[in-house]
Amino acid sequence: MILKNLLSEKRAAILERWFEMVLDSYPADTSSFLKQQKNQFANPVGAAISQGINGIFEELLSGKDSDTISAFLDNIIRVRAVQDFTPSQAVAFIFHLKKVIREELEKEISENQLSDELFAIEARIDKMAMLSVDIYVTCREKIYDIKANELRNMTFRLLQRANLICELSEPEQALIGSKNLNVKRKEVTK
């Protein structure tokens, strides 16, 4: 595949432009910090994005459908899921790769008639985007579960402090359970 060779040759330029586009999706002050701070401990978000896009690009070039691409996507999307991004904004970085590839290789694609190869690469990028949506939804569900559990625990602790909770004996618990069960049976039979 000629396109894969061209992508390998222009790897550094493509990754640099893609990284810039991802960081530009952040607010201006955050974006400038992420671009300037190179230390992975002072800038774990920038490091996660950089490592993630490098891994994604390598997997794209390999042409294999592997589970490792999911791990690279997960590292980036997990960060974006807890930030103030809409779902479309959180996964849009995948589509930026298409734009970067087209712009970096525009001349070579038209000269060598590589549109079929480009479509194949772009189809793989589309699959990555769909996988990204799944990862994003899973992350957001986990966040909502954590929030709901924390709210339930906080409410329980407040009720305990106010002495509004009493312990039930096993027979009382069984009685309440059987009443609830009977109510549910009646609702189902109606």
Q: How far apart are CA 75 and CA 116, in angstroms?
A: 31
Quote the pLDDT of residue 179: 54
Q: Tell me: the pLDDT tens digits for 61-112?
A: 987 766 789 999 999 999 999 998 999 999 999 999 999 999 999 999 888 8
Q: What is the pTM of this model?
A: 0.76
pLDDT tens digits, one per residue of 25-48: 999 998 888 888 888 888 999 999
For the stretch 146-158, pLDDT in tens is: 999 999 889 888 8
In the chain, where are the structural domains located?
2-150
> Which pLDDT band holds residue 52 (cuts at 50, 70, 90)?
very high
Q: Which residue has tokens 């978000």?
A: 45
Neighbours of 157 (CB within 10 A): 11
Give every CB contact of residue 103 below 8 A, 6+ residues apart in sequence: 17
Provide, rounded to the nearest whole percent, the portion of the chain with pLDDT above 90. Answer: 59
Q: Measure Cα distances from 109 to 54, 59, 89, 184 in Å.
A: 22, 21, 28, 65
Q: What integer is the mean pLDDT of 145-173?
A: 83
